[in-house]
Amino acid sequence: MQRLKIDQDIRSMSEFRTGIASFLKQVHDTKRPLIITQHGKGAAVLLDVGEYEAMQEKIELLQDIHTSISLLENGLGVPHNDAKEMVLQSLAK
């Protein structure tokens, strides 16, 4: 996801209502999120679908890493050589 440009990527709800199509195109073209404000406070974020999916995949990967670290810290890991042997045996079948 591209870095937010504050002067271009924060819009009020009233601006968003009047220019929805152009803001959808902006989000798609720039791959940057659009922050929509209401009464001067953040109310919503508009993201390109591809960027949202990529973000979800990264979150899932980070959750898997966190789970793996927790398992290792609790002594539930498999030594490297044992894991390697298990993978090689499963590939040989």
Share of the chain above pLDDT 70, in %: 100
Would you say residue 4 lies in a domain?
A: yes
Would you say residue 91 lies in a domain?
A: no
Would you say residue 46 lies in a domain?
A: yes
Would you say residue 89 lies in a domain?
A: no
CATH code of the domain containing 65: 3.40.1620.10
φ, ψ for residue 79, nearest 5 deg:
-55, 150
Q: Which tens digits make up the pLDDT trace of 9-24?
A: 999 999 999 999 999 9
pTM flag (> 0.75): no
Q: What secondary structure does DSSP assign to 37-89, as a single string?
A: EETTEEEEEE--HHHHHHHHHHHHHHHHHHHHHHHHHTT----HHHHHHHHHH
Would you say residue 71 lies in a domain?
A: yes
Q: Please state the domain count of the chain.
A: 1
Would you say residue 86 lies in a domain?
A: no
How many angstroms separate the Cα of 79 from the Cα of each of 71, 85, 88? 12, 10, 14
